[in-house]
Each structure stands twice: as C-alpha cells, then as structure tokens.
A and B are shown apart, each in its own frame.
Chain A
Amino acid sequence: MPPPLHIRTYHELTEADRSGLGEQVGAQHRRVAERLAPVHRVVAVMSGKGGVGKSFVTALLARALARAGRRVGALDADLNGPTLARLLDARGPLAVTAGGVEPVAGTDGVRCVSMAHLLEDGKPLAFKGPGSDAFIWRGALEAAALRELLGDVTWGALDMLLVDLPPGVARLHELLDLLPAPPDVLAVTIATVESADAVRRALNAARERGARLLGVIENMAGPQFPGDAGDTLSREFAIPLLARIPFNPGDAMWQTLGERL
C-alpha cells in the first residue's frame, strides 16, 4: 500500500492564478447584478406544470402593467419553447451596442428578449459540441444562456422584469443561482388536482430557496378543468389567490391583476 500523500490542498494554494476560473465566474455574477441594479423588481412567473398558460399570463400581465404606466420588461426563460416574443409581437433583430444587446419593444412598449429572437424559425435550440453524453453539458449551456439574457441585455430602469419560466423547477433554480437576490414568484395553475400537485412542488422549491410568493393565479377557469387548485394552493401556502382567469378574459381582468401585485 503506497504511503499517504502529504501535499497542500486546493484552498492552501493561494498564489496568483492566471486562469482565475473562480474570478471569471464571480465576474459573470457581478455583470448580472450590475445589469439588474436599475430593475426595481424581478418577478418569476412559474408553475411547475406545463400548458397552464404561464407565457400567456406573463404577456397579458406585462401589457396591462405597461398600459398602467409601469416600465416593464419580459424575459422569456423558456429557452426550448419560446413563445413570449410572439405573444408580445416583439420582433427582432436585436441591436448590439457597446453596452450590450437591446431588448425589443413589443405591444404596449413591453421590453422583451426571447430565444425566439435568436433561433431559426422552426429549429430547436442546438449547441456545438460532442454529440455523445450531451446531457452532461447541455444544462450548463442553457444556464449560461439564461445568465447572458439577464446580464448582457440592456434592460435599463424597469419597475418590473417578468421572467417567464418553463415547466418544472430546474430553470427556477438556475434563476435563483444567478440573481443577486431571490425574485418574487407568481404561480400559475389550472384548477385540476394534477396541476395542484405539480405547482405545489414548485412553490415549495421557491419558498425553500427564499423567494417571496406573491400569490397564485388560476388560469383557464371554467367547467373545462374541474377542481379547486387555486384555492387549495392559496390555503396551503397562505398566499392570495390573485385571480381566477376564464377563457377569453377581458382587459379589465389583467388591469385588476396588475394592480394587485
């Protein structure tokens, strides 16, 4: 048996390191923090459940806030299924300046950036790299893309930046890792018990990471989706049921919701 190796450990080596990988990562975080410093509030719109209308809620809520005079940004964090740009009619190209990439002004002046601005129509988000074992690095690249959409876009002074998250909680965790402080969280559900199951997990994940839960929105309310997920989640998490949105809601619904945030 070889003798034990008596060498200094990683943290005991403190000489200057030209690579400075830790410093490079620190600089990335500072870039995000500096970019978002003029943003008064970041609100993550999440669900945990797919197909409940997160992007629809995000877009219509953003427009209502903008019409009420708020400066609003909308970041489409659904990198693999981006829809926010179309919902806001925010069309590229994205202008690149010395300061960064400018968001596109969509309907009602909502400032939007989405992966849809960057991808060829109909093409999936695909990366360079070795084809085998792509699952190992793909997540890191998607997190890097989210970091750049937060930190390299000239969001400017905003009253609110709405971040439209994809289903699941993975991107929420990435967002929490990247932001200098946890965002406020708005949960969207439909009424079914299955949706409540998924949204409950997502709300617990957000709460465990220190995010403030603003409330829950029950979307597509009506006989098509029976259940009481909105009320159930509101009661369980002691958060308000901010709105029960029917199919084809009118403008007044969004205006009321915006006033409640």
Chain B
Amino acid sequence: MKFLCVDCDRQMTFEERALPGDGTLAATFKCPKCGRVMALLTNPMETQLVSSLGVEIGGRTVPAQPLETVRKMVTTGRDDAFEDGKRETGNVGWSSDAQERLARVPNFVRGMVKRIYIDYARERGITEITPAIMDSARSELGLEGM
C-alpha cells in the first residue's frame, strides 16, 4: 500500500496512526514536496485484515513478541497458558495504581503487555511505571489494540 501525490508525482510518507477503539483505523500520509496531508480510514473488516497479517501500518513500534498475534487476537485463551516470569525486568517497579490497572488486563495477554511496558520504561530510564507512564506508552507505541 503506497500513496502518490499525483500533482507532485511524489510518494507520500507515513505520518501517524490512530486506533479509535471502534475497530477502525486512521493513518495520515503527507506529500514531502507540497505538504498535502491525506488520511487513510479503514472499516473494521479492513482493519482486521491488516491485523490478521501480523503487520502494522506505519511500521512496528515494538519488537515482535512471542506468539504476539495469538495473544492479541484469541478471545478463548486460557488464563494459565503462559509463565511469563523468566525474563529480565531490571530495576523497573510498578506503582500500586499501575499494578491494579495491569491486573485488569486478561491473563492470557498480560505477560506480554507487561513486558512491553517494562521495556518502554527501561529504554527511557524510568524506574517506576505509573498509570501516566502506561498512557504515554500506549499512545507512543500504538498499543490501543491491546
């Protein structure tokens, strides 16, 4: 999928992506010559097709996680499917509010989401994950679908 600014004969570049939460996706592209911006809006079925391929419009924001598509997309996963405790966590801690929020994530996907937040914090020198940090990570990394 590519976008061409016909007037400028230039390939438009990806700008940003948003998942509003209703199953749709919005992505904007900009002409590097004239600055014109256009939006790609997909319906839930089109969004699902892209998700099904395990690819992300705009490029990956976090490295691929083990069984990522299965953990994100399966709704009948068992709570005790995974033991996620064997990975390095560094010095990153969790505030009680953040722990409560994390506990509301289904267990099937929780370990993977927790890992993504920890990696986000470690890369930025953050020692305590709070709900605000979780919001920042979700926004910056495009985790709206998790």
Contacts and interface: CB of A to CB of B under 8 A. Distances in A.
B49 to A, nearest CB: 5
Contacts of A17: 2, 11, 13-14
Given A18-B14, A137-B52, A96 B75 contact: no
A94 B83 CA distance: 6
B4 A7 contact: yes
Contacts of B51: 129
Interface in A109-163: 117-121, 123-130, 132-133, 136-137, 140-141, 144-145, 147-149, 152-153
Contacts of B84: 96
A85 to B, nearest CB: 12
A234 to B, nearest CB: 38
A103 to B, nearest CB: 12
A138 to B, nearest CB: 8
B16 to A, nearest CB: 10
Contacts of B88: 98
B82 A97 contact: no
Q: Most chain-A CB neighbours within 10 Å: which of B23, B51, B55? A: B55
Interface of A: 7-8, 10, 13, 15-21, 24-25, 27-28, 31, 92-98, 100-101, 117-121, 123-130, 132-133, 136-137, 140-141, 144-145, 147-149, 152-153
29 contacts: A7-B4, A7-B6, A10-B2, A19-B57, A21-B1, A21-B53, A25-B55, A94-B83, A96-B82, A96-B86, A96-B87, A101-B66, A101-B82, A118-B67, A119-B77, A120-B78, A126-B76, A127-B73, A129-B48, A130-B44, A133-B45, A136-B45, A136-B49, A140-B52, A144-B73, A145-B74, A148-B54, A148-B66, A148-B69
Given A19-B57, A129-B51, 8 more contacts: A15-B13, A19-B59, A92-B81, A95-B86, A96-B111, A119-B77, A121-B78, A136-B49
